[in-house]
Amino acid sequence: MHVFRLRGNFETLDIYSAALFELGARGLEEKPGEVWAYFPERIELPFPGEWQELPDTDWLEAYKRDLQPVRAGPFVVLAPWHTWEGPEKPIVIEPGMAFGTGHHETTRMALETLAERVEPGMRVLDLGTGSGILAIGAALLGAEALGIDIDPAVIPQAIENARRNQVKVQFQVGSLDEAYDPLAETAPQAPPAQPAPTPLVQGPFDLVVANLYAELHTYFAQKYRELFGICGTLILTGILAEREGIVKSALEAAGFGLLARRQEGEWVCLTYAAR
């Protein structure tokens, strides 16, 4: 097996992941300070990084074998082959290409915070749903959940995960407007003047959770407010502590009041009240 090692993490290298898969990567794995992209053979890659040969073991099997159940608030996140005896509510997620197995600090914090805030019957939006884990968690707590993601590849995985957990969750491809990536070199300096003609997501929601990244939260700040009626709760994570300031300024300007903050490692999760 050949591995291409890139410096960074899933969050900072998110912009490369689709291209890596298109170029033949069989999987991505986050290591301390690096992301490893596994390829069946060496190819020319237009990214900064270096190749390394690995003994020909089945890395995916090894990865799956090492995967442990994760506790998060009232939940325990399990892979389909795990067994669990305990008071926690299981969420079964197939570890695949979609982000969201519960092992990342941001997913865990979002799931725990969500569980503290969700009440049965609430309308919940999970923006950037990935594996669907947060929407599924909300549905298991009795909410009516919608999960959306700009990556069409994750939606079938999220649907399958909801089926595994025997909950009804709606999933759709999309975002709050056209796919806008503030990190891309070609990104405009200001939000596009013309919003998408038809809103992809119809509010109001009682709770919105988004595990994205600081620049995107900043860009979406006003749009987040439009998702709520008179009030509601917004849970934001995927924020590196060093980027927290820009999110706070934008959210405050958009009329949100900070309710709670938590941090694990370098990652922050902010909970806001829409007001």
Ligand X SMILES: C[S@@+](CC[C@H](N)C(=O)[O-])C[C@H]1O[C@@H](n2cnc3c(N)ncnc32)[C@H](O)[C@@H]1O
**138: how many CB neighbours lie within 10 A of its CB?**
28
Interface residue with ligand X among 93, 110, 138, 145 (CB under 6 A) is: 110
Residue 171's nearest CA partner among 148, 153, 152, 150 is: 148
Q: Which of 9, 129, 161, 271 contacts ligand X by CB under 6 A?
A: 129
* Residue among 31 and 275 whose Cβ is closer to ligand X: 31
Binders of ligand X among residues 174 to 233 (CB under 6 A) are: 175, 179, 211-212, 216
Q: How far apart are CA 201 and CA 174, in angstroms?
A: 8
Q: How far is the CB of 1 from ligand X (least distance, A)?
A: 25
Shortest approach of ligand X to residue 40 CB, angstroms? 24
Tell me the closest approach of the beta carbon of residue 230 to ligand X, in angstroms: 25
Residue pair 216/182 in contact by the 8 Å Cβ criterion: yes
Is residue 127 at the binding interface for ligand X, with CB under 6 A as the rule?
yes
100 counts as binding ligand X under rule CB under 6 A: yes
Torsion of CA 214, 136, 97, 76, to 10 degrees: 90
Contacts of 25 (CB under 8 A, 6+ apart): 4, 37, 38, 39
Residue 161 binding ligand X, by CB under 6 A: no
128 is a contact residue toward ligand X (CB under 6 A): yes
Q: What is the DSSP string of 19-56?
A: HHHHTT--EEEEETTEEEEEESS----SSS-EEEE--S
Which residues contact ligand X by CB under 6 A? Answer: 99-100, 106-107, 110, 126-130, 133-134, 148-151, 154, 175, 179, 211-212, 216, 238
